[in-house]
């Protein structure tokens, strides 16, 4: 009952600002995949108060900036980041054009199916894999390669398309925030141009609201046609202390809501919640081995330790995937409708 009243108030208030209010507002639950617990209540309370015109904690729509990490926050990231899966499969696809890879590491190990051997070279090996698969083409060619890969590849464990492994509760949260006058951004350690070809379709987040890591590009005119060529040079790493830097560079104002899942998001939550006025920080905790994956302190992917230790004192809300979420992935029907 309390829940329903909260939602109705939130929607009625949101309607003051959002477009389309000439249409009667339907009093539907905007977060149907969230269980009624502390996490959901803190979200609804926050949205209600910042949208309450005349209220003490009202925030004008222009300042309602919400930032979301991607890997592990909006979609899964196990057994390895999906962008690394993309890179590994691209190495396979490109191998016929690169006979030298048969004897050259890290490619030789990779092509023998020995991922561990390939990654034994550490960060330089990963950088070689990334540059071999992410640079050397135009920005438009790369976007097409990403789209083609997503259309055909399947996750090794779930056998779903990767874009079918986005979190249904997060799709609802994104839509709820936008209906409440928020502008939603992705701020991810992943590649900015790896995400942009599909975030609008899958999350409703347009390319200009995606912040991520990047390599350099160069403007060239080829046979009279201008192109942007992707160079094998790192430009920016949007992770850890880089996230507030990336937020400042791309958004130019401090968010009031940040959502992450690993210590790579720590500074983003710190920067967001240290601002004056109402602020909300959320940490998605992967504690559901049955429906997704369970990992935190001991995981290389999505390592979460400081965030768990300090969430309490900092007032950040830890979202338990196991207890707070009724569903993890969209049902195939929803998936179809969403995409």
Q: Which of 209, 213, 261, 262 binds its own copies (CB under 8 A)?
A: 209
Q: Which of 128, 69, 88, 140 has its CA nearest to residue 104?
A: 128
What is the spatial distance between Cα 323 and Cα 292, in angstroms, rounded to a whole number? 13
Q: Are strands 183-191 and 280-285 parallel, antiparallel or unpaired?
A: unpaired
Least separation in angstroms between residue 242's CB and its own copies is: 8
Q: Choose between 248 and 331: whose C-beta lies nearer to its own copies.
A: 248
Which of 207, 301, 303, 338 touches its own copies by CB under 8 A?
Answer: 207
Residue 214 in contact with its own copies, rule: CB under 8 A: yes
221 binds its own copies (CB under 8 A): yes
- The helix (run of H) or strand (run of E) holding residue 258 is strand 257-260
Task: Please give the structure tokens belonging to residue 179.
Answer: 């209906």
Residues in binding contact with its own copies, number by CB under 8 A: 38
Q: Does 234 bind its own copies (CB under 8 A)?
A: no
Q: Of the two residues 128 and 273, which places its CB atom closer to its own copies in the complex? A: 273
Taking CB under 8 A as the rule, does residue 232 contact its own copies? no
Instruction: Show contacts of 313-316: CB within 8 Å, 24+ apart.
Output: 314/269, 314/270, 314/273, 314/281, 315/273, 315/281, 316/269, 316/273, 316/281, 316/282, 316/283
Q: Does 177 bind its own copies (CB under 8 A)?
A: no
Part in contact with its own copies (CB under 8 A); list of ranges 147-155, 160-168, 269-277, 302-310: 269-277
266 binds its own copies (CB under 8 A): no
Pick 76 or 213: Cβ nearer its own copies: 213
Listed ranges 19-27, 95-103, 157-165, 303-311: which one lies at the site for its own copies (CB under 8 A): 19-27
Q: Contact at 8 Å (CB) between 47 and 30?
A: no
The Cα 182–Cα 61 span in angstroms is 6
Contact with its own copies (CB under 8 A): which of 120, 274, 277, 336? 274
Residue 110, judged by CB atoms within 10 A of its CB (0-12, 13-18, 19+), counts as buried
* Stretch of 69-77, 106-114, 155-163, 224-232 contacting its own copies, by CB under 8 A: 224-232
The Cα-based distances of 33 to 133, 163, 170, 239, 330 in angstroms read 37, 18, 9, 29, 10
Neighbouring residues of 26: CB distance < 8 A, sequence distance ≥ 6: none
Q: Does 248 bind its own copies (CB under 8 A)?
A: yes
Stretch that binds its own copies, among 166-174, 205-213, 279-287, 297-305 (CB under 8 A): 205-213
139-178 as b/e: b if 16+ CB within 10 A: eeebbebbeebbeeeebeeeebebbbbbbbbbbbbbbbbb
How many angstroms separate the CA atoms of 210 and 208, rounded?
Answer: 6
What is the per-residue binding string for its own copies in 42-81, x denoting contact by CB under 8 A?
Answer: --------------------x--x----------------
- Could you list the residues that contact its own copies (CB under 8 A)? 19-20, 22, 62, 65, 139, 183, 192-193, 196, 200, 206-210, 214, 217-219, 221, 225-226, 228, 241-242, 244-245, 248-253, 267, 270-271, 274
């Amino acid at each position: 009952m309390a829940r329903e009243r909260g939602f109705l108030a939130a929607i009625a208030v949101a309607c003051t600002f959002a477009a389309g209010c000439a249409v009667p507002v339907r009093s539907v639950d905007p977060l149907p995949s969230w269980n009624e617990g502390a996490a959901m209540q803190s979200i609804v309370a926050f949205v209600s108060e910042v949208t309450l015109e005349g209220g003490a904690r009202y925030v004008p729509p222009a300042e309602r900036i919400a930032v979301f990490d991607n890997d592990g926050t909006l979609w899964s990231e196990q057994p390895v980041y999906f962008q690394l899966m993309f890179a590994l499969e691209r190495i396979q696809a490109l191998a016929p054009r690169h006979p030298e890879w048969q004897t050259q590491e890290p490619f030789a190990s990779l092509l023998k199916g020995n991922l561990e051997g390939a990654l034994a070279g550490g960060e330089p090996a990963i950088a070689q894999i990334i540059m071999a698969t992410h640079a050397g083409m135009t920005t438009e060619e790369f976007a097409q390669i990403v789209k083609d890969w997503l259309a055909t590849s399947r996750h090794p464990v779930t056998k779903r398309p990767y874009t079918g492994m986005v979190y249904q509760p997060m799709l609802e949260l994104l839509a709820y925030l936008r209906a409440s006058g928020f502008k939603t951004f992705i701020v991810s350690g992943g590649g900015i141009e790896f995400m942009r070809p599909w975030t609008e379709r899958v999350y409703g987040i347009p390319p200009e609201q995606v912040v991520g890591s990047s390599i350099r590009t160069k403007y060239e005119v080829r046979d009279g046609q201008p192109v942007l060529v992707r160079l094998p040079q790192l430009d920016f790493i949007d992770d850890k202390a880089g996230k507030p830097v990336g937020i400042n560079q791309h958004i130019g104002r401090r968010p009031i809501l940040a959502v992450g899942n690993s210590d790579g998001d720590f500074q983003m939550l710190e920067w967001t919640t240290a601002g004056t006025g109402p602020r909300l920080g959320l940490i998605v905790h992967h504690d559901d081995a049955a429906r997704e994956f369970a990992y935190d302190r001991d995981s290389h992917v999505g390592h979460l330790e400081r965030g768990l230790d300090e969430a309490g004192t900092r007032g950040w809300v830890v979202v338990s995937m196991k207890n707070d979420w009724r569903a993890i992935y969209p049902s195939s029907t929803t998936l179809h409708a969403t995409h």
